[in-house]
Amino acid sequence: MSEGAAGGGGRKAHLRIDRLRQTRAFKGQGVNIKDKFKRENRAEFGQRLLDQIVMAFGQADVEKTLLGVTEQLGKTGAYISVDRPAKLPQEKLQQKSYGVLVGAVTEMLRRTDADTLERVSYFVPDDMRESLKEQIKQYRDSEGANKPNAVHKRFDEVEAIAFNGLAGLWTSPDPLPGNDEVGWFELWLRRKAKKDAPDAEAYLDRRKDALGLHLSQEKLKFPEFVVRFIRATGGSLRRLVRELNVYVAEVRPARIDASVFTTVRSDGVAPIEWVEDAVRRLGAAPEGPYVTLHDTGVNRAHPMLRPLLDESDMHARAQSWSTDDHDGHGTNMAGIAAFGDLQFRLQDQDPIRPTHRLESYKMLPPNGHNPPETWGLVVRDAMSDLDVASPHRERVHCCTVTAQSSLTGLATTWSAAIDAATSGACEIEEIGPRRLWLQAVGNILPHEWSANEDLRDHPIEDPAQAWNALSVGGYTERTQISEPTMRGWEVAARTGDRSPYSRASLAWDRSQAPQKPEVVFEAGNWAKDPAGGFVSGIDSLSMLTTGRDVINRPLECTEMTSPAAARAAGFAAEILSANPGLWPETVRALMVHSADWTPEMRRRLGGRPTKEHCASMIRQFGFGVPDRARALASTTNDLALLAESEIKPFRRIRSRNEETGAETSRIGLNEAHYYTLPWPRNILEEHFKEQVSLKVTLSWFVEPNPGAMGSRYPDIYRSYGLKWDLQRAGEPEEVFMARTNAAEPQGDEEGPDDSGWLLGNKHSRAGSLQCDVWNGDVASLLSRRMICVRPLKGWWMTRGKDKRYALNGRYALVVSLSARGLPVDVHAALSAEIEALITAMTPIEATDA
């Protein structure tokens, strides 16, 4: 960011610390996992497992006969369901070299947060049945073994074995279809690992007529799966699953449509003269960046929108659709994205200076619904169409359409498609352009809520669980009801509280699902009538925006999380306008960096909140309401240190056997980045008792690997992970380096305890954004002079043949310091310290082992 971009009047540029980075060879510390559980009476339990697996194989054979299955793709076999603790690695039972492979994974029973029972389907080839039975017999007969052996580790923590047919591969909370029930379904087919392997897609195409299937030609491709969409009866689906054998890993119902967003009220609230006055004050439109609205189209005839939206920037998914707005929602969102709440724009006489332009991609058909397989495909097609139309354009994508609630926060085809699009995922070895995607979290309506309602029962809706999306919830400052007919009515939410429309991710498992939303914007409020009933759609509790009907209703009211997401998209475009060329990851990080909780949100925390309470707050409010001035620029004593960097998370590690001379290799972690934080000791140490606040935000995008296993296990879903660590107060540099990196010389000294953090170890394991806030005194701050960004495991490590491990990742790091009580120019002191450190630094590069 340039000084000029930050403006004047006390506003200063954010400080870049890219050149303070040192790259070090990295090795993970590793985790010492001990098999603490020992099964009592293995002889009795082993016999029970043996009886269960014999029964399961028998039931599989009976089902195969009843379904009339006479051929199976590849090796004949069946899926067997195993109930076991979620913490148990699948590899303990999976035996890839013998064809025993993991299929679907579903949660069965949550006994405690740390003890969850899950059901895993394993495909067992017929020629492995006797081998598995022999392994269980060995387990049964090993009661007197002195030390745990391989069969103990494999079977001790197994709870039960059974055959469940289609139910074992069904990963939806929806009920299974009856044999005569017709529906649309997603088939998650394994991609061919070898050229000469059986082709599941070709088999599906060959068998569709005989089984009475309607096979959509559309498909979604992920690293390990191809998702195909079929219309079938439940009976045909069951037979097809047995025929496809190991090559189908998971089955889900295909969603017919996204939940319908509210239809904006039709009563106009302002005369056309207000619009004409605003147009007279409207300045020239810039060349970019663009907010791309994925919605119902936009009415470009609106005089406030026409200067910002070229006809060539109106797109629709199907050529037969008009690009115009058939519903009104898209035009409403265009006004919010371009101008924010028009109540403020129309009441003053200041010039209106646009900072960005608009682009429209019509993703919803004018009549009926999208076909049932669509939502992931809509994202794919949109990216393709827009890239062809304007391939090098800086865009902020905004989607306000959502589907049914995401009960678990796990990936769907829709959310994974967003992660793929934003990460630049593609079939070739290179990574495509990254993209910024802002997504509404979905709405709660008054009839869905009661006084005793639990917010956990209203989880965020699909696809807002997408890791790379900036998911936008709602808060409200609309607390004054001005309608004369509603005197004596109250509002549902207090000033600065969560909008009653906004959903939360409180019910999601922190080990599997990301923290959502990340930020909140104005979403409006409900009114409460004297009888205690809630009412939505009150003009004075809503926002003002552009209307589709230019003649009769040029201005309309809107509410819910749709306009919150649209306003967030405009906010992101303002950051890009002031700082062209910023990475999408950086814009997302700056929005989170600038966000803060309102006084009402902080009131909910109470006096001495626990970290668990703080984590729950984030799953309702995100990190708060972004501040435009703070996102765009620093000030004297409230500033941000910013770095954008590529990182190579993995490398091939070769070694040679000293006895045989044979060379072996594996994929391991590669490098970590260390930044020296430029705290000016000579300026700050005389204020060592003053309180300051430090906020660290790390943002990167993952390439997704969805499916039942990938969706539930972050290190399988993500291409690579990242994590930051900050030097602790009083911790010597060499101890910090050793604590965070096993490749550094290891000593006996342990790092000191770390306190003062908002979240600490209560971070979600999932997601592609890590943020935390530390509060403490200047003395503690001065000894925290180094921050590390290090890699975590991901599926790129497993793709040695296609060399995905050799790709570079990248990230944005924002470290913000708020020292508003200090009577010194901290920004100027840090700027001088950065220059001094750059002059003195000698970079240390990673070396190959």
Are 521 and 475 in contact, with CB atoms under 8 Å apart?
yes
Per the DSSP assignment, residues forming a β-bridge with 752 are none
DSSP string, 317-384: SSTTS-SS-SSSHHHHHHHHHHHS-HHHHHHS---B----EEEEEE-S-SSS---TTHHHHHHHHHHH
* Residue 25, strand partner residues: 671
Evaluate whether 499 touches 493 at the Cβ level (below 8 Å). Answer: yes
In DSSP terms, 742 is beta-bridged to none
Helix (H) or strand (E) holding 141: none
| 212, 230 Cβ separation under 8 angstroms | no
Q: How confident is the model at residue 144 (pLDDT cuts 50, 70, 90)?
A: low
Question: How far is 841 from 849, CA to CA, in rounded Å?
Answer: 24
For 584, the 3-state DSSP assignment is helix
Q: Report residue 790 as tokens.
A: 């290090």
Residue 122's DSSP bridge partners are 80, 102
Amino acid at residue number 300:
R
Check residue 265 and give its pLDDT.
Answer: 33
Q: Which of 130-134, 405-409, 506-510, 822-826 has the lowest mean pLDDT?
A: 405-409
715, HSE (Cβ side, Cα atoms, 13 Å) = 8
Better-predicted residue by pLDDT, 304 or 745: 304
Q: 682 burial class (0-12, 13-18, 19+ CB within 10 angstroms)?
A: exposed
Q: Which residues pair with 357 in a beta bridge?
A: 290
Mean pLDDT, the chain, integer: 87
Q: Which helix (H) or strand (E) holds 429?
A: none
Q: Is 352 exposed, middle or buried (0-12, 13-18, 19+ CB in 10 A)?
A: middle
CA distance 381 to 360: 14
The answer to whether 464 and 441 are in contact (CB under 8 A) is: yes
Name which residue leads in pLDDT, 147 or 357: 357
Average pLDDT over residues 178-199: 85
pLDDT for residue 643? 97
Q: Which of 248, 42, 45 is nearest to 160 (CA)?
A: 45
Q: Which helix (DSSP H) or strand (DSSP E) does residue 594 occupy?
A: helix 584-594
Q: Which two tokens stand for residue 316?
A: 């629709």
- CA distances (Å), origin 364, targets 257, 440, 601: 10, 16, 36
- The answer to whether residues 506 and 455 touch, using CB atoms and an 8 Å cutoff, is yes
More confident residue, 593 or 347: 593
Band of residue 35 on the pLDDT scale cut at 50, 70, 90: very low
Tokens of 275: 């619009």
Mean pLDDT for 110-117 is: 59
Is the model's pLDDT at 795 over the cut of 60?
yes
Q: Retrieve residue 472's tokens.
A: 């936008």
Residue 598 has pLDDT above 60, yes or no: yes
Using one digit for the tens of pLDDT, what is the confidence trace for 311-353?
A: 999 999 988 899 999 999 999 999 999 999 998 788 777 899 9
d(CA 89, CA 103): 14
Give 256 or 629, the one with higher predicted confidence: 629
DSSP state string for 614-658? HHHHHHHHTT-B--HHHHH-B-SSEEEEEEEEEE--EEEEEEE-T
25 neighbors 743 (Cβ within 8 angstroms) = yes
User: Can you give 749-815 as a three-state secondary structure string?
Assistant: CCCCCCCCECCHHHCCCCCCEEEEEEEEEHHHHHCCCEEEEEEECCHHHHCCCCCHHHCCEEEEEEE
CA-to-CA dists, residue 515 to 290, 440, 518, 762, 844, angstroms: 27, 14, 7, 11, 35
d(CA 435, CA 423): 7
Evaluate if residue 360 carries a pLDDT over 50: yes
Using the predicted structure, report yes or no on whether residue 267 has a pLDDT greater than 50.
no
d(CA 179, CA 186): 17
> 215 by DSSP, 3-state: which?
strand
| pLDDT (0 to 100) of residue 306 | 96
Tens of pLDDT, residue by residue over 803-822, are 889 999 999 999 999 998 88
Among the listed residues 531, 573, 31, the one whose alpha carbon sits nearest the alpha carbon of residue 288 = 573
Task: Name the pTM for this structure.
Answer: 0.86
Question: Does residue 1 register a pLDDT over 70?
Answer: no
For the segment 546-559, what is each residue's pLDDT rounded down to a tens digit?
999 998 889 999 99
Comparing CA positions, the residue from 366, 481, 465, 482 lying closest to residue 412 is: 465
Give the pLDDT band (50/70/90) at residue 498: very high
Q: CA distances (Å), 309 to each of 315, 356, 569, 596, in order?
A: 11, 10, 16, 33
| Distance from C-alpha of 592 to C-alpha of 589, rounded to nearest angstrom | 5
